[in-house]
Amino acid sequence: MLLLAKIIVAIVALLHLYFLWLEMFAWTTKAKKVFRQFPEDLFEPTKTLAANQGLYNGFLSAGLIWSLLIEDPTWQVYVALFFLGCVAVAGIYGSLTASKKIFTVQALPALLGIALFLAHQML
């Protein structure tokens, strides 16, 4: 169960690295294909805002990757739970304010990781 939780952490970290790239470096190119409902004429004027959002996604990814590198098993779980919690809250907020799809893509994997870590702690 712990191995599966760590795999989920790695997947969530990789997703957020992808979000970082998309929002910071590909906002006016590839992001147009991902965010089809966003008006095309707004990509260029919102480039700086998207880059700022991408930076935050990078911080989440960095925290999740860091959690995988911590040697102390207790602190590894604590740090992973903190950053997965941040991702879950951001995903829930995004699903309520922007798109329901964000829950499935962002919040659900984080919640699954949290559940797996908590289940492991109960064993």
Does position 2 have pLDDT exceeding 90, yes or no?
A: yes
Domain boundaries, the chain: 1-122
Average pLDDT over all residues of the chain: 97
What does the pLDDT average to over 89-95? 97
- Per the rule left: phi > 0, alpha: psi between -120 and 50, beta: everything else, 35 is beta
Residue with tokens 């207790």: 74
Nearby residues of 49 by Cβ (< 8 Å), 6 or more positions away: none
- CB count, 10 Å around CB of 41? 7
Exposed, middle or buried by CB within 10 Å (0-12, 13-18, 19+), for 20?
A: buried
